[in-house]
Amino acid sequence: MKKLLPFLKPYIKECILGPLFKLLEASFELFVPLVVAAVIDEGIAYADKAVIWKMCGVLVLLGLIGMVCSITAQFFSAKAAVGFATRIRQALFAHIQTLSFGALDKIGTFTLITRLTSDVNQVQSGLNLTLRLLLRSPFVVFGAMIMAFTIDVPSALIFAVTIPILCVIVFGIMLVSMPLYKKVQAQLDKVLGATRESLTGSRFIRAFRMEEDAQETFDARNESLTALQRYVGRISALMNPITYIIINIAVIVLIHTGAIRVETGIITQGALVALYNYMSQILVELVKMANMIIQLTKAAACAKRIGDVLDTAPGQTFPDADATQDNNAPAVEFRHVSLRYGGAGDESLTDIDFSVPAGSTVGIIGGTGSGKSSLVSLIPRFYDATAGAVLVNGVNVQEYTADTLRGKIGYVLQKALLFHGTIRDNLRWGNPEASDEELLEAASLAQAGDIVAKKGLDHMIEQEGRNLSGGQRQRLTIARALVRKPEILIFDDSASALDLATDAALRRAIGQISYHPTVFIVSQRTSSLRHADQILVLDDGVLVGKGTHDELLASCEIYREIHQSQTGERSGKGGNS
Amino acid sequence: MAAKKKLDKNTIREVLRYIRRYRFLLVLSLLAAFVSAVLSLYIPILVGRAIDCAVGAGTVDMDSIIAYLVKIALCTALIALSQWTMTTFHNRITFQVIRDIRHEAFEKISTLPLSFIDSHSHGEIVSRVIADADAFGDGLLMGFSNLFTGVVTILGTLIFMLTIHPLITLVVVVLTPLSLFVASFIAKHTHDMFKKQSETRGELTAFINDVISGQNVVSAFGREDAMIEEFSEINDRLEKYALRATFFSSITNPSTRFVNNMVYAAVCLTGALTVLSGGMTVGGLTSFLSYANQYTKPFNEISGVITELQNALACAARVFDLIRQPGEPDDPENAVVLTDVAGDVTIDDVSFSYVPEKPLICHFNLHVRQGMRVAIVGPTGCGKTTLINLLMRFYDVNSGDISLDGQSVFAATRHSLRENIGMVLQDTWLLDGTVRDNIAMGRDATDEEIIAAAKAAHAHSFIKRLPEGYNTVIGEDKGGLSQGQRQLISIARIMLKVPPMLILDEATSSIDTRTEMKIQEAFARMMEGRTSFIVAHRLSTVRETDMILVMRDGSVVETGTHDELVEKGGFYASLWNSQFAV
């Protein structure tokens, strides 16, 4: 919560003026009974119509002033709340942009989205409510109590006893039921899980005839949700009757003592009526306060979640200026590099050592989870090596600014992600200054020339590229990487969505690029790598083979097995099928 | 507009159908609401009378006061009891109605045709079952209790006021609707601002979704600053609309309160003048003023409740729309239960398309003899999985017939058909449960059988290393299994009890080729003597099948064995050669 206070600073004026006008409004409201009393005591008692007209005019005036104050208060609190939320959202988004991949993995994407959207909205309405009510309700409650004391101290003591008891009960029931509401939410998540499962697994559930099992699971979860809701419902259903009983007991006691005191002449009948009215007012405000506090706890929880993200250290720092690079050094060099992801027990990469001359092509192959993607993700510093050093042009990647390092690299991910916008917008990610000719050239290199020719550069791509097929998306992401004419080009298993013919054509085109980038190709297919200058074979994070296709066939057992499994060229026992 | 009204009517009828089961509870809770509302109005009168007995020093009628106080105590007890009854019963009705609705919605999901599930966003269907049902329940709960109590309070106050002075009552009755008018006037004019606010919010959420789920791409291209700038533009627009929407909607409350204050002043004026002319007592005026306050309050609440109820009905309509969806057609009467299938498949003149305008499979014929291995190959998106959809009857053909051992599958039960076909799909799917549950998939199996199946699928060694072995809880979003490991588990499912026919769809695409090789041996054993359909990207894996169907753009363009097709030099041959091309 403290973390968010600075965002409120530009709105200090609004935060003071809002509640102030609200208090003004409440005070004017407190005048109303006095005016009515004047109507009765002066107007009716002396049959003075002029006074009655005048006082009713005052009532209208009070109403008018009250409305003006109230609207002014609403304006200031709305302005503060909306502005506060806007600033938080901006800061949160900007902060997320600075987080390293390690930090992002740890927090999780979905929760970041919730925090940026619904959590910030909760905080906004929380602040709005606070500015409007937080001062008002206690003001009325304690104001009423103080007024009672000015009328008659012994009767007012009944207030002094009742208010704490009411507070204890209202907040006690809230404290008991709030954790239960959390449980209800958790159980609802389980019902949601079962529903989602039945949709994503519809084919499997039907193929394995699990319809009845699924229904049973769902019904059981649904039933416990209902039971839990009813239990919480029973507890919170106590709130109204109990507060009602207490207030009315207080009223009975008040009238009884009051009557005795009227009998002895200490207070008047009018005073007794006033005391009774104040008691009713207190009940109304307490109920409002309880509702507000529920809202506020929610908002505070959301504020804490936002604060947590803002507190997360970026995880990586980049220097302000680049170190001088050595153009004669290898384009990329790994010196005894190891990588362990945050929170993971085992190393994902162990003691990787190799160097790549500029302009050559490197293939990386290995089994599922052998660390191929981890290896290439170290080059643009998506993650930092836990041991050893990664060098680009003879300089440790940690000594480059982010712009310089990532500007050298064109990276194509396995998951083909495009963004909402035209094809031109998406391709220009690679280079904001690229001309249409350059975009078309990159597209045709990426075998995406036909897509662009057919749809045009102005074709709108929907969110997540939904209106394109997987292969089309993949080719456009390749084009996007080529637009920047990178020194280093990395294909992280990105050809798997392409059919073999396109894959081959793509590799031919890359080989003919005039500026000769250094190319890394991660693949599961030996056929995609066989013409690489150097192939790295990974097994469980360890580099088990390094060499050309032919060398590896001769020397590396694992490479040979992989190759044979894909071509069927083997003499051993058993066929493929 | 008329259509919408009709829709609302249908929805209300549907809601009543669910509530009818609990009508006894409903009557009781309405009764309780009535009692509590009327007695709550009666208490101020009792208080007033008690106070009237304490006019001044030495004249206090203590006995009467105590009699009134006892009455107040009794009323309080009754009100508290009926309030509690009302809330508890309302809770019960609401929660059980939601439970019933969810139950039916889920039941429907299990029988919905796959075409519906494939063409609708899962998130959207889930939100109907979860969020919409919840919102409906909240509205129902709020709506019923507040609406009914509000109406009773208004009527009660009206009667009490009429007994005091009819003419001043008229003043209240005529002026009060003003606040409703003001409220609806503001609501109408803020509607546009709310619409703009929610549109911009939606735009911002979509943008956030895009950027954060693609954060690695954003970083790789160094686009962080550009993203922040774009975000800032939308965010600023949102600020503008949000401020307008928040502020103008928050005018409602002060405005209606102002109208109420005017009513109060009017009552005060007319009341005081009436007292002067001797038409009413001062006590009467005091009661009148407090009733004037009470009378206007429910009006403001009711206008809120009506919006709430409208929203609830809209949510209910979405859930009911799901429940009313037609399910898969029932199995025909006297449907055959397929047992001991040999696996002779005949596809006879089958035509099929997902959308009527785009014919996909036209007049397709195929005969697969028992025990044959059929490979289906072709470039991405050529319709390979369509054949599987038809064989499993996830989708039904538009015309033609598919028969199994000479028996039309459309005259057989879906359950028995699917039981005879084992399926491993490219998209793995894990049940939220233990590894054991995921392999057993609802079938009875001993631990030994499950372990044997896992071993056959080469999944045993990694399962053993999981924190709790076969009892480790896994699921779509937990367990941290790699795509390859998930695929191994789906293979183990089939290995547990091998059905007479098999469908393997890209079954090993995420497994590294060395493990795949080992699994292929297990598959080979499994396929021995069983009719199998294999979909694969890697042509090497389909080389030794008995028949290859080559698909392109939804239709089968070539059939034959590997050697025949290579020799023919057609589409298959070009695919085959391209994998060796540079």
What is the rounded CA–CA span in Å between residue A139 and residue A15? 17
Strands B531-535 and B373-377: parallel
Which chain B positions have a beta carbon within 8 Å of A234's beta carbon?
A: 88, 91
Q: Which fold has domain B345-578?
A: Rossmann fold (3.40.50)
Q: How far is A105 from chain B (nearest CA, A)?
A: 11
Is there a contact between B232 and A79 if contact means CB atoms under 8 Å apart?
no
Q: Do A203 and B243 touch (CB under 8 A)?
A: no
The verdict on a CB contact (< 8 Å) between A403 and B238 is no
Same domain as A24, residue A103: yes
The answer to whether B48 and B160 are in contact (CB under 8 A) is: no
Among A130-144, A351-365, B374-388, B430-444, top mean pLDDT goes to A351-365
What is the per-residue burial (b if ≥16 Cβ within 10 Å, else e) of B27-40? eebbebbbbbbbbb
Quick check: A211 and B110 in contact, CB under 8 A?
yes
Are the beta carbons of A265 and B53 separated by less than 8 Å?
no
Distance to chain A for B51, nearest Cα, Å: 7
The torsion defined by the Cα of A270, A271, A275 and A276, in degrees rounded to 10, comes to -20
Distances (CA, A) of A516 to A174, A259, A401, B329: 69, 102, 24, 61
Classified as helix, coil or strand, B528 is coil
Encode pLDDT of A464-500 as tens digits: 666 777 778 888 999 999 998 899 999 887 766 677 6
Q: Which of B76, B114, B517 sits opposite A244 (nearest CB)?
A: B76
The three-class DSSP label of residue A535 is strand
CB contact under 8 A, A93 and B228: yes
- In total, the C-beta contacts within 8 angstroms joining chain A to chain B are 438
Looking at CA atoms only, how far is residue A351 from chain B in angstroms?
Answer: 22
Lowest mean per-residue pLDDT among A97-101, B353-357, B462-466? B353-357
* Segment B246-284, tens digit of pLDDT: 888 788 878 888 888 888 888 888 888 888 888 777 777
Which of A59, A67, A117 is closest, CB to CB, to B254?
A: A67
Cα–chain center distance at A186: 18
Q: Are residues A301 and A341 in the same domain?
A: no
**Contact call for residues B262 and B175 (beta carbons, < 8 A):** yes
- Whether residue A427 contacts residue A439, with contact meaning beta carbons closer than 8 Å, is answered with yes
Q: Which of these, A182, A187, A122, A181, lies nearest to B130 by C-alpha position?
A: A187
Cβ of residue A457 closer than 8 Å to a chain B Cβ: no
Q: Buried b vs exposed e over B301-336: b needs ≥16 C-beta within 10 Å?
A: bbbebeebbeebbbbbbbbbebbebeebeebeeebb
Say if residue A374 is in the same domain as residue A452. yes
Q: Do B392 and A380 touch (CB under 8 A)?
A: no
The arithmetic mean of pLDDT across residues B147-164, rounded, is 83
* A60 shares a domain with A157: no
Mutation for testing the B interface, residue in A128, A181, A202 having most B CBs under 10 Å: A202
Q: Are residues A85 and A164 in the same domain?
A: no
A201:B91 CB<8 A: no
pLDDT at B554 over 50: yes
DSSP line for A409-437: EEEE-SS----SEEHHHHHTTS-TT--HH
Rounded to the nearest angstrom, the gap between the alpha carbon of residue A46 and the centroid of all alpha carbons in its chain is 68
Q: Which of residues 356-415 of A touch B (CB under 8 A)?
A: 366-370, 380, 382, 402-403, 406-407, 409, 411, 413
Q: How far A281 CA sits from the closest chain B CA (Å)? A: 12
Q: In total, how many domains does chain A have?
A: 3
Which comes out higher in pLDDT, residue B510 or B343? B343
Beta strands B501-505 and B421-424, pairing class: parallel
**Smallest CA–CA distance from A367 into chain B, residue:** B512
- The verdict on A417 and A536 lying in the same domain is yes
Selection from B336, B361, B340, B337 nearest residue B351 by Cα: B361
Distances (CA, A) of B332 to A85, B326, B335, B394, B411: 59, 16, 5, 16, 6
Task: State whether A313 and A405 are in the same domain.
Answer: no
Give me the domain span that covers residue A538.
332-567
Measured between alpha carbons, how far is A463 from A452 in angstroms, rounded to an integer?
18
Q: Name which of A43, A55, A237 is nearest B88 (Cβ-Cβ).
A: A237
**Nearest Cβ partner for A241 among B84, B117, B423:** B84
Residue A284 domain flag: no
Sequence-distant contacts of A435-440: CB under 8 A, at least 24 apart: A438/A483, A439/A479, A439/A483
Determine the Cα–Cα distance for residues B430 and B482; give it in Å rounded to an integer: 12
Asked, for residue A499, whether it belongs to a domain, the answer is yes
State percent of chain B over pLDDT 90: 12
pLDDT at res. B511: 64
Q: Confirm or reject CATH 1.20.1560.10 for domain B1-165+303-328, answering yes or no.
A: yes
Check whether residue A310 and residue A350 sit in a common domain. no
Q: Give domain status of residue A65, yes or no.
A: yes
> Which residue is closest to A95 within chain B, CA to CA?
B228
CB count in 10 Å sphere of residue A320: 6
Letter for the amino acid at B185? Answer: F
CA distance, residue B325 to nearest chain A CA (Å): 15
In our burial notation (b when 16+ CB lie closer than 10 A, e otherwise), range A220-232 reads: ebbeebbebbbeb
Is A544 in the same domain as A413? Answer: yes
pLDDT computed for residue A574 by the predictor: 35
Residue A421 and residue A345: Cα distance in Å, rounded?
41
**What strands lie across the sheet with B399-404, from one edge to the other?**
B361-368, B345-352, B399-404, B407-408
B159 CA: distance to closest CA in chain A (Å): 22
The pLDDT of residue B148: 80
To the nearest whole Å, the CA of A528 is away from the closest chain B CA by: 8
CA distance A397 to chain B (A): 14
Residues 6+ apart with CB under 8 A from B251: A71, A74, B186
Pairing of strands B373-377, B399-404: unpaired
Residues A24 and A71 in one domain: yes
pLDDT per residue over A520-550, tens digit each?
998 877 878 888 899 999 887 889 999 999 9
Confidence band for B102, pLDDT divided at 50, 70 and 90: very high
- pLDDT beyond 80 at A446: yes
Cβ contact (<8 Å) for B232 and A90? yes
As beta bridge partners, residue B162 has none
pLDDT of residue B1: 40
CB contact under 8 A, A402 and B222: yes
pLDDT by residue (tens digit) across A198-226? 887 787 788 777 888 888 889 999 999 99
Q: Is the pLDDT of residue A355 over 60?
A: yes
Mean predicted confidence (pLDDT) in B234-239: 93
Nearest-CA neighbor of A241 among B77, B11, B531, B422?
A: B77
ipTM over 0.85: no
* Within a domain: A447: yes
pLDDT in tens, B304-327: 677 777 778 888 888 898 888 888
In chain A, what residues touch B282 (CB-CB under 8 Å)?
A: 40, 44
CB of A466 within 8 Å of any CB in chain B? no
In chain A, residues 133-162 whose CB comes closer than 8 Å to chain B: none
A116 contacts on B by Cβ (under 8 Å): 208, 212
Read off the tokens for A15.
Answer: 């935060």
Looking at the fold, whether A80 and A128 belong to one and the same domain comes out as: yes
Pick the closest to residue A202 from B83, B296, B531, B423 (CA basis). Answer: B423
CATH number at residue A342: 3.40.50.300
pLDDT > 70: what percent of chain A? 94
Interface probe, candidates B179, B238, B513, B539, chain A, greatest A C-beta count within 10 A:
B513
Give the separation between CA A166 and CA A242, rounded to whole angstroms: 9
Domain-embedded: residue A92: yes
pLDDT in tens, A322-348: 888 888 889 999 999 998 876 555 677
Whether chain B has a CB inside 8 Å of the CB on A324: the answer is no
User: Model confidence over B169-220: pLDDT tens digits?
Assistant: 888 888 877 877 887 788 777 778 888 888 888 888 878 877 877 777 787 7
Q: Searching chain A, which residue's CA lies closest to the CA of residue B62?
A: A259
Q: CA–CA separation, B342 vs B340, rounded Å?
A: 6
Residues in chain B within 8 Å Cβ distance of A74: 247, 250-251, 253-254
Pair A533, A484 in one domain:
yes
Contact A267, A151 (CB under 8 A): yes
SS3 label, residue B473: strand
- Computed on alpha carbons and rounded to an integer, the radius of gyration of chain B in Å comes to 36
Of the candidates B122, B225, B543, which has its C-beta nearest A200's C-beta? B122
Of A204, A223, A500, the CB nearest to B579: A500
d(CA B4, nearest CA chain A) in Å: 29
Tell me if chain B has a CB within 8 Å of the CB of A485.
no
**B524/A191 CB distance under 8 A:** no
Comparing C-alpha atoms, which of A547, A552, A478, A493 is closest to residue A525? A493
pTM of the model: 0.70
Is some CB atom of chain B closer than 8 A to the CB atom of A328?
Answer: no
B155 compared with A110, residue with greater pLDDT: B155
Quick check: A18 contacting B, CB < 8 Å?
no
Separation between Cα atoms, residue A383 and residue B220, nearest integer Å:
12
Q: Could you give the CA distance from residue B69 to residue A25 in angstroms, rounded to a whole number?
A: 35
Q: Where are the domains of chain B?
A: 1-165+303-328, 345-578
| Cβ proximity of B45 and B75 under 8 Å | no
